[in-house]
């Protein structure tokens, strides 16, 4: 299985010609192309940097059989053309076995109500948490770790890694950090957890 890292929180899983796309948001320049070539799409929550509603709606007009999964707000914004998922669900998306974990977006500020957010464990090995440091409570081989955003801190990120105890870390949700900030995340989080934090350039792939 291969992981392709796209801009910000967006990644593609490929295996034997199958393509599973996760969190194609408006911060990803080639979202339309990625959606057009996906066999299925997972969305962790309805924030625009993870969910390009217009692009997905247009692709569903073109390909009504495209399977899209996400919380209820995502399904609502797509006119009910996505499958609503919640914690504990087990699905097959684009030929990949996926389990669903978590319920809410991490707190940004008490004045901002959190939205529903789910994380996805793909093929029983790779976990994409969306915008949350909620521990999934299952074994995780590779953790996709968010490192930037109004809800994140490097200390919380390190504690999350310690609680999940993955064998491998790949940085995602990094767009709000400069190159210096990304390197700082790698140094601090790696030092606190004992795991190297991999920063994959956009468009590159790695074998899982």
Measured between alpha carbons, how far is residue 44 from residues 51, 157, 184, 194 in Å? 8, 18, 26, 28
CB 39 within 8 A of CB 94: yes
Average pLDDT of the residues in 41-45: 98
pLDDT value at residue 169? 98
Across the chain, what does the average pLDDT equal? Answer: 97
Q: pLDDT confidence of 198, banded at 50, 70, 90?
A: very high
Q: CA-CA distance, 117 to 129, in Å (whole number)?
A: 8
Residues 53-72: tens digit of each pLDDT: 999 999 999 999 999 999 99
Average pLDDT of the residues in 176-198: 96
Average pLDDT of the residues in 171-189: 95
Q: pLDDT confidence of 197, banded at 50, 70, 90?
A: very high
Question: Dihedral through CA 88, CA 107, CA 157, CA 176, nearest 10?
Answer: 120
Average pLDDT of the residues in 168-176: 97
Which architecture, in CATH terms, is 2-201?
Answer: 4-Layer Sandwich (3.60)
pLDDT value at residue 135? 97
- The closest of 2, 6, 37, 36 to 23, measured between CA atoms, is 6
Residues 7-26: tens digit of each pLDDT: 999 999 999 999 999 999 99
pLDDT value at residue 48? 97
Measured between alpha carbons, how far is residue 118 from residues 28, 84, 114, 133, 182 in Å? 20, 11, 12, 11, 25
Q: What percentage of the chain reaches a pLDDT higher than 70?
A: 100
Average pLDDT of the residues in 27-44: 97
């Amino acid at each position: 299985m291969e992981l392709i890292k796209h801009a910000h929180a967006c990644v593609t899983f490929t295996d034997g010609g199958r393509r599973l796309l996760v969190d194609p948001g408006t911060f990803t320049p080639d979202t339309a192309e990625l959606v057009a070539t996906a066999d299925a799409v997972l969305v962790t929550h309805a924030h625009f940097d993870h969910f390009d509603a217009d692009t997905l709606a247009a692709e569903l007009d073109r390909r009504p059989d495209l399977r899209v999964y996400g919380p209820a707000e995502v399904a609502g914004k797509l006119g009910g053309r996505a499958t609503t998922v919640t914690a504990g669900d087990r699905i097959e998306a684009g030929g990949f076995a996926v389990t669903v974990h978590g319920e809410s977006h991490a707190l940004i500020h008490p004045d901002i109500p959190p939205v529903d957010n789910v994380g996805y464990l793909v093929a029983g090995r790779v976990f994409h948490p969306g915008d949350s440091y909620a521990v999934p409570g299952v074994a995780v081989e590779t953790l996709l770790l968010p490192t930037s955003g109004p809800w994140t801190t490097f200390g919380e990120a390190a504690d999350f890694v310690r609680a999940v105890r993955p064998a491998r870390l790949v940085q995602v949700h990094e767009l709000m950090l400069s190159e210096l900030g990304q390197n700082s995340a790698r140094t601090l989080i790696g030092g606190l957890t004992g795991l190297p934090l991999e920063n994959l350039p956009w468009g590159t792939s790695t074998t899982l």
